[in-house]
A and B are shown apart, each in its own frame.
Chain A
């Protein structure tokens, strides 16, 4: 019986030739990540430990992105705690306002994760790095503390679901639409405890930004991780961004999967997840007349340059509908600068959108775009749970950058076709 791609990476990190689903292992980790919400709790746990200091100052990333620029005194205290810890331990990869980006956009961009790595992060969307052919998964603060101290983490080796992607997606269908379609199909616990391995000839049509958006939302199906095979595009991306040595793992031909799904990408349409679960999906032709109060374009799912280019292409020469607030948040400083240099920021501002410095902000109802009772937002973010972006009686509709931008112009949930695009 062969191993899946994920199982091979895990085996290599615990010194075994072979692992199988259900086996408990202790693996060496290549990177431990935390943010301004989760790191202070981890630092508190570390203080209870007998060991002093961190296992490797170069293999820890502390990214202050959630409530930053500090939204209030309590948040400022959390950031201060994380900063003092980082300075004391000489953490190489500490990022605060000015150089910070949303962690899951920032780490690949900085070249801190490459194919074959094992990464744990005290943030559920740590699964994003699977797009690079790495095993990465979200953990809590105590696991982060143990990881920072020992460089190890315990795992139950996951079984897997295989998604064979075929065909070429239509112009306005992005990675976001594909992953929303998948979550709609298997449900928010459809991949519970499992790996989601994406494969098939359709992958050649997916950009790295599409792939990041897809693996980012593996957790929204309950998945332990999402992972793509490494192809020429992945290698090109890693060579451009990283000096780290990468290692390519491939699933065995006789690897065992709990389920195999085949999805013809050419048949998919722009897809929207209605409140209050990411599985409540409808294709754009079935959304009906849903008027909106806010649009958010950003987040670790869809705040990358390609997302901004798509949104700007749609908003260029058009105006945001009266009564709609549009907030565009480039995910990293590099993306922000690129968006300025390419003229995208000008187009957003001319259309009547606000453009912000990188932050997770509104995605988790932190700041920078909180909803009032009864308000509705279309967001390129990843969760639409009760109260996620503000008042418990507000609503979030998850969509691609193209749908979000078109909705900004019409004032209701719309696809780009409605604008004749």
Chain B
């Protein structure tokens, strides 16, 4: 499984309130949530994002609320992968549970810049920066999580058991 896209870059502690503000949580339809994705940190995100694009951030991405609406909004906005130095733990679970690929890689998080075009290989954890001609080794998912992702989320995984 691979992802390829243009990068939107953010810093430390991107919280779930800026990913999807609570004022939009009364309408949990993925397409509705996608319209307001990243609104309080990057008002032009929704206008500029294309299907397949990739979010790269630094430490503690997705901190704060447990709202699954956050990874749902990101996935529904067309984002194919989120790379960060670290993820907040509930966001990490939620992303895997809904089948949004995420990958932890400190080197990539620090070196990749906005607008870079990158390719991610989820099987190996390798990240290739096509713009800069560099590569980074991210953490591949443990087997247990690979099974959930392969099933495209926890519910399908349970149904298959």
**At the interface, yes or no: A188 with Cβ under 8 Å from chain B?**
yes
Once the chains are docked, how many angstroms separate the CA of A392 from the CA of B154? 34
Chain A contact residues (Cβ within 8 angstroms of B): what range?
35 or more
Residues of chain B contacted by A383 (CB below 8 angstroms): 15, 17, 64-65
Let me know if A141 and B68 touch, CB within 8 A: yes
**At the interface, yes or no: B137 with Cβ under 8 Å from chain A?**
no
A234-252: CB near B (< 8 Å → 1, else 0) gives 0000000000000000000
A13-41: CB near B (< 8 Å → 1, else 0) gives 00000000000100000000000011011
Let me know if B155 and A124 touch, CB within 8 A: no
Known: A41-B28, A124-B66, A189-B59. A386 touches B88 (CB 8 A): no
Let me know if B67 and A142 touch, CB within 8 A: no
Q: Choose from B27, B67, B142, B155 the contact partner of A45 (Cβ within 8 Å).
A: B155
Q: Choose from B41, B90, B155 the contact partner of A145 (Cβ within 8 Å).
A: B155
Residues of chain A contacted by B98 (CB below 8 angstroms): 140, 142
A379-411: CB near B (< 8 Å → 1, else 0) gives 000010111100010000000000000000000
Chain B contact residues (Cβ within 8 angstroms of A): what range?
35 or more
Counted as pairs of residues, one from A and one from B, with CB atoms less than 8 Å apart, the total is 132
Write the residues of chain B forming the contact surface with A, with a CB cutoff of 8 angstroms.
Answer: 13, 15, 17-18, 21-23, 25-28, 40-41, 59-60, 63-69, 71-72, 86, 88-90, 93-94, 97-98, 142, 144, 153-156, 158-159
Write the residues of chain A forming the contact surface with B, with a CB cutoff of 8 angstroms.
Answer: 24, 37-38, 40-41, 44-45, 48-51, 66-67, 71-72, 74-75, 78, 121-124, 126, 138-143, 145-146, 149-150, 154, 188-189, 192-193, 219, 222, 224, 277, 364-366, 383, 385-388, 392
Q: Offer 22 A-B interface pairs, CB within 8 angstroms, sorted by A.
A: A24-B142, A41-B28, A49-B159, A71-B26, A123-B66, A124-B64, A139-B66, A140-B90, A142-B94, A146-B158, A149-B158, A189-B59, A192-B60, A192-B88, A193-B89, A364-B22, A365-B22, A366-B23, A383-B15, A383-B65, A385-B64, A387-B17
